[in-house]
A and B are shown apart, each in its own frame.
Chain A
Amino acid sequence: AQSVSQHNHHVILSEAASLELGCNYSYGGTVNLFWYVQYPGQHLQLLLKYFSGDPLVKGIKGFEAEFIKSKFSFNLRKPSVQWSDTAEYFCAVNFKAAGNKLTFGGGTRVLVKP
């Protein structure tokens, strides 16, 4: 079965530190890739997405992600975090062979200390 893994369940870091969240998926076929964020008390919203083209994609709020096809990975990065980046982050994959569904990773809770 197709699956999505996020390596870290919890990350704690200080403001201005760099952030990298790992995401790997199980399937070698064609995929569309997403990172969603859920700020405390808010609904999930899209950070960025990759369908094709340049494997380095930029999203909102200074986030970027790199698709490495050979590693089945789509890691999320931010060079310098702020307290307002405290949130839960979810990687999601549309496995094209599975149609119109998304498969989500388990999420990573990020706490940025001021």
Chain B
Amino acid sequence: DVKVTQSSRYLVKRTGEKVFLECVQDMDHENMFWYRQDPGLGLRLIYFSYDVKMKEKGDIPEGYSVSREKKERFSLILESASTNQTSMYLCASSSDPAKGYEQYFGPGTRLTVT
């Protein structure tokens, strides 16, 4: 079974703090993704990566950056956290094209910025 793990389930940070969210997958997937999930808005793509050290902006990259130094690990960084970044953050990895890029999700990190 594919397993995607995220470093924290719940996180509380103060405005202006630098925040690191970590994600690890164990299935040797090429592609990894970071989303935020907000009520009524579904999942919105922040950044994704299709290879080590490669990254692409998603739909809402402002205020975020990412790092992928190893294939299994994809980090989301909030350089200076703001209250409007309070959200649920989901990491996913995806399988090969033969499976239509089906994505596997981690349990999520609920981030509160005060």
Chain A residues within 8 Å of B, Cβ to Cβ: 4, 6, 9, 32, 34, 36, 42-46, 49, 51, 90, 92, 94, 100-107
Contacts and interface: CB of A to CB of B under 8 A. Distances in A.
B106 A94 contact: no
B52 interface: no
B87 interface: no
- State the main secondary structure of chain B at its contact with A: strand
B105 A45 contact: yes
B40 A32 contact: no
Contact of A90 (B40, B42, B106): B42
13 contacts: A6-B42, A34-B100, A42-B107, A43-B106, A43-B107, A44-B92, A44-B105, A90-B43, A94-B101, A100-B94, A102-B94, A104-B43, A106-B42
Contacts of B35: 104
A24 to B, nearest CB: 14
Contacts of B97: 100
Given A43-B105, A49-B100, A100 B40 contact: no
B102 A49 contact: yes
Contacts of B50: 100
B45 A101 contact: yes
Interface of B: 31, 33, 35, 40-45, 48, 50, 58, 90, 92, 94, 97, 100-103, 105-108
Contacts of A107: 40, 42
A100 to B, nearest CB: 5
A34 B48 contact: no
A49 B104 CA distance: 13
B102 A34 contact: yes
Nearest to A44: B105
B42 A43 contact: no
Contacts of B45: 101, 103
